[in-house]
Structure 1
Amino acid sequence: MCGTDIAAWRRPTTGADPGGITVFAIFFPGQGAQFRGMGADVFSRYPGMTRFASDLLGYDLVSRCRDNQDDVLSRTECTQPALFTVNALHTFERERREAPPADYCLGHSLGEYNALLAAGVFDFETGLRIVKRRGELMAAASGGGMSAVMNTPAPRLLDLLREDGVEGVDVAAYNTDAQVVIAGGDSALRAAHAALKARGIRFASLRVGAAFHSRHMEPVRSEFESFLKEFTFEEPGTAVISNVTGRPYEPGTIPEMLSRQLVEPVRWADSIRYLLSRGVGVEYEEIGGNSLLRMVRSIEKTDSRDVLSKSGV
């Protein structure tokens, strides 16, 4: 492991592994994982790539990450390329140390681009150019926001909002059974918050500037899809699980899936359950933090309770 920038978790197993299969997956976090000082441990190790990123982006990436003056890292157009670069450098450092290769790569929202980079779909320059444009387009679609809602399954949540006459809110992420994320315009979110508060349902507003992964991103989808046509993509050398489907990418679908990701929810819980179905032993490693690992533990606990319930224990 490399300091605190890579976290690992092994899924607890009971009994023998009948198939002898252990699945190893690497996770890459998305927007929200940024923090002041990120990248300090890798920028100096990769000065050429760091300078290249700064030149491509048009600003000193190191100083922005170090100082975060005026909370610039919270701005989508800066957050996305900065986090992509830092995640990429940690990935290159992991490869330099000849750490074990993954069977699967997964990223949450923006993190999916790092998963695709790690799987050889595109090189660092291509990935950074795409993420830079993605951040610009998503930042331009300002207005609205997102909130995490706790302990209310998505179908029940949507039913409650409909009962209370709340319209214009979409599910933007199925993170775990205990947490979903909703997105909508400002007035719709205010109405949703009032309905949730009246029912005693916990929620937390997220620090984002728009309603990502929802119908409200539709205006930028076509422009981003056209932009992606300028690039050539290789097929993944390591299986990458798509946010859109919760399943590995199928051949020839990368531009379509990345465009759909803007307007469709992140199916993280489905992605993890797919992993759990691939082997009795599962090992995980997260680049840049442990927020995704915490989600995995929550999903595993839910599944374990379901198994015990069905067995009558």
Structure 2
Amino acid sequence: MAKAAWVFPGQGSQAIGMGADLATVPLAQERFAEAESVLGWSVLEVVQADDDKVSNTLYTQPCLYVIESILVDLLQDRGHQPAVVAGHSLGEYVALYAAQVFDFAAGLTLVQRRAELMAQASDGMMAAMLGFDADDLAAKLEATPGVVLANDNNPGQVVISGTPEAVTAVMESVKAKRAVKLNVSGAFHSPLMAEAAALFQPVLESIAFATARVPVLSNVDPIPATDGAVLKQRLVQQMTGSVRWREITLALPELGIDTVVEVGPGNVLTGLTKRTCKDLALVNVGNLEQVEGFTN
């Protein structure tokens, strides 16, 4: 039997219509209703809106959390369990839910407040860089105040974050195959999110974190952990800290993992994994048909 890591994508993987097929399942119907009571709006209505409302940070994060959590519920209801879990940025909240660190409503309460604070963060800029010299990029980041490595996704793809001037300066000075400004409201995963992180902390402190049922590899620390206090502290650091996804991926084979299951819309994380650890088997579970066909 495969030893699987379940991984959960974050903002950027959303798509109009995602999760709508789940609404035929009673378990999912209960979750959508519970989500509406927490959020005050309908996830199903937002994801099916033609104006791409689902790509507004305020809605993106709660919608991804709800849909990915429902996919977790459906998989676990069929007897499937991961050996370890990890999530990319927002996806870490689903990883913690899958590991039973908190319940569905508690996680959604955290995600809704996180989304509100991040949507209000209008200062700063983020850019994706592909095909670059890692040493050159590291040197330029070190020499340029106001910009940091926000997402270390794989050896050939990163995201930098900081003030518009600093991010632009690095984009223009580092030779890369592609450098693209991201359509986000602020400099996520950088020190510029310190104020938002400080406002978020009281909400985070109000939620009890249980011992995880399976190890969690956190964005800011890829060492597996199950202690609730440790996992909460790592989440405190997540808003201003880098997403160390490349290190998370490299840690999986060392933990005996042979299969990576991306639970959520799209295939961003399996795509990143393919370029980092070529020997890992890759599976995507992003809709009802894929849940029903899942055999690991």
Structure 2 CA distance, aligned partners of 1:139 and 1:22? 39
Q: For residue 160 of structure 1, what is the aligned residue in structure 2?
A: 140
Alignment of 1:51-200 (within 5 A): 51-69=33-51, 71-98=52-79, 100-161=80-141, 166-196=144-174, 199-200=175-176
Contact map agreement 1:27 1:107 (CA 8 A) in 2: yes
Shift of 1:186: 2.1
Alignment of 1:239-278 (within 5 A): 239-249=215-225, 251=227, 252-278=229-255
SS where residue 157 of structure 1 aligns? helix
Q: Which amino acid aligns with 1:96?
A: D
1:282 and 2:258 are equivalent in the alignment: yes
Is the alpha carbon distance of 1:302 and 1:169 closer, same or farther for their aligned partners in structure 2, counting shifts above 3 Å?
farther
Are 2:7 and 1:27 equivalent residues in the alignment? yes
* Residue ranges of structure 2 left out of the alignment (5+ in a row): 281-296
Aligned partner letter, 2:136: R
- Please say which of residues 217-226 and 258-267 is displaced more in the overlay: 217-226
Tell me whether 134-143 or 102-111 shows the greater mean CA deviation.
134-143
Moved more, 173-182 or 42-51: 42-51
Q: Structure 1 residue 66: deviation in Å? A: 0.6
Q: Residues of 2 paired with 1:134 and 1:250: CA distance?
A: 23
The CA deviation string for residues 23-52 of structure 1, in whole angstroms up to 9 with x for no partner, is: 311111001010000111113322222122
> 1:309 maps to what in 2?
none
Aligned residues: 276
Q: 1:264 to 1:155 in 2, by over 3 A?
A: farther
- Using the TM superposition, name which of 235-244 and 42-51 deviates more: 42-51
Q: Distance in 2 between matches of 1:43 and 1:155?
A: 48
Question: Could you tell me how far apart the structure 1 residues matched to 2:32 and 2:270 are?
Answer: 28
Secondary structure of 1:158's aligned partner:
helix
Find the aligned partners of 1:155 and 1:129 in 2 and give their Cα distance: 40
How far apart are residue 109 of structure 1 and its match? 0.6
Identity percentage of aligned residues:
34
Where structure 1 has 5 or more consecutive residues not aligned to the other structure, the ranges are 1-20, 304-313
Distance 1:155-1:212 versus aligned 2 partners, 3 A rule? farther
- Counterpart secondary structure, 1:138: helix
Q: In structure 1, what is the equivalent of residue 288 of structure 2?
A: none
Q: Supply the AA of the counterpart residue of 2:164.
A: D
Asked if the contact 1:23/1:278 (under 8 Å) is kept, the reply is: no
Partner amino acid for 2:72?
Answer: T
**3-state SS of the aligned residue for 1:264?**
coil
Higher RCO (CA < 8 A, seq sep 6+): 1
User: Aligned residue for 2:291?
Assistant: none
1:22 Cα deviation from its structure 2 partner: 5.6
CA RMSD of aligned residues (A): 2.1
